[in-house]
Amino acid sequence: MDSAIELRHLRYFVAVAEELHFSRAAKRLRIAQPPLSQQIRQLEQQIGHALFNRNSRTVALTHAGETLLELARQILKRLEEDVETVRRVGRGEMGSLTVGFIGSAMLTVLPAILGSYRMKYPQVELRLRELTTSRLVDAIRQGAVDIGFLRDAGPTDGLSLETILAEKYVVALPDSHPLAQRKKVPLIALKREPLVLFPRELGPLAWDKTIELCELAGFRPKIVQEAAEWLVVLRLVSSGLGISITPACVAMIKAPGVVCRQLSSCPISTDIELAHRTEYLNPIMNAFLVAARRAFRDGRA
């Protein structure tokens, strides 16, 4: 087919072929009949064959016209589907999205967000990656992760961050510990308690905040054991190895032999942050960010 043939020629041709009447086809297309007849003649000239047999009473398709009608319908249908695909991509309804998260974020409304997002956007390939805050920062910078849920990353070059959840700290204690009988525990009561905490390299600012919290109460904690996962931290606490100061959401983990108690004074919060590359935000990412902000604001998905 000659490249000079345009989509409007095909649309006009299909209308005439389906109506088999130039006047009705012109009315359907909302154009005058003379321009329509001219466009059909141009199309026939481009193809080099008549598409219609015409006389004063009837209009009928030639064999070439019948073949073109079948092909033109396919072309127009495919174009309509392709345009709709582009529109859906533009609305953030198709494509792929990689979401990274720290483990403790799964103790918030995040799982519900992921579930509802997958239901609302079934044609978006949603990929999930669990990483520490430090590794997540690098993954977002490198483009391996589109959107991340971090804890206490703080101002970071190349990343746009916003706090979506400010949590209080709680103290995790063996259920046999004398302080376990209290509803609230003052920080100073933990002065001589051995501390189980995660390694600083996993989240420097989060680690620093925990230490600062103790220092504001007048003491520097003694870290006796490090563990990367909160479940492991709690199991170590249950063994009597020490206590731990954790984000409030960690209390949702039901670890045998451990109780979590509020701190009576907690001047510092630990923040879950939503992050993406500063200068990169596509429609799929934006739709997810809107849903995540709303869910964390409302406390539900």
**pLDDT value of position 301:** 41
Mean pLDDT (the chain) is 91
**pLDDT value of position 300:** 54
Q: How far apart are CA 19 and CA 191, in angstroms?
A: 89
**pLDDT value of position 2:** 47
- pLDDT digits over 212-242, tens only? 999 999 999 999 999 999 999 999 999 999 9
Residue 154 sits at φ, ψ, to 5 deg, of: 75, 180
Q: How far apart are CA 132 and CA 135, in angstroms?
A: 5
Q: At what angle do helices 63-90 and 7-19 cross, to 10 degrees?
A: 120
**pLDDT value of position 219:** 95
Q: For a pLDDT cut of 70, what percent of the chain falls above it?
A: 98
**pLDDT value of position 269:** 94
pTM: 0.73
pLDDT for residue 56 is more than 80? no
**pLDDT value of position 1:** 45
The residue among 230, 210, 228 whose CA lies nearest residue 220 is 210
**pLDDT value of position 133:** 95
Among 82-96, 109-123, 183-197, 268-282, name the one with the lowest average pLDDT.
Answer: 82-96
- With H, G, I as helix, E, B as strand and everything else as coil, classify residue 22: helix
User: Model confidence at 188, in pLDDT bands (50, 70, 90)?
Assistant: very high
**pLDDT value of position 179:** 95
Q: Which domains, from first to last, does the chain contain?
A: 7-90 (1.10.10.10), 95-165+271-298 (3.40.190.10), 169-268 (3.40.190.10)
Q: Are 54 and 33 in contact (CB under 8 A)?
A: no
